[in-house]
Amino acid sequence: MSGQSVFPKKNRLLRRSEYLRLNSLKDPVFKGKTFILFMSSNNLGLARIGITASRKVGNAVARNRVKRLIRESCRQLLFALPAADILFIARKGAVEFEELFKQELSCALSRIGLC
For residue 63, being part of any structural domain is answered with yes
For residue 101, being part of any structural domain is answered with no
**Percent over 90 (pLDDT), the chain:** 28
Q: What is the pLDDT of residue 4?
A: 55
For residue 103, being part of any structural domain is answered with no
Output the pTM of the full model. 0.84
Render pLDDT for 42-79 as a digit per residue (tens, 0 to 9).
899 888 999 999 999 989 998 998 898 888 888 887 77
Mean pLDDT (whole number) for 81-97? 85
Residues 22/87, Cβ–Cβ less than 8 Å: yes
- pLDDT at residue 3 greater than cutoff 50: no
Q: Give strand pairing partners of 90.
A: 35
Residues 19/87, Cβ–Cβ less than 8 Å: yes
Domain count across the chain: 1
Q: Report the CATH number that the domain containing residue 24 is assigned in CATH.
A: 3.30.230.10
For residue 52, being part of any structural domain is answered with yes
Q: What is the pLDDT of residue 56?
A: 92
Range of the domain at 26: 11-95
For residue 104, being part of any structural domain is answered with no
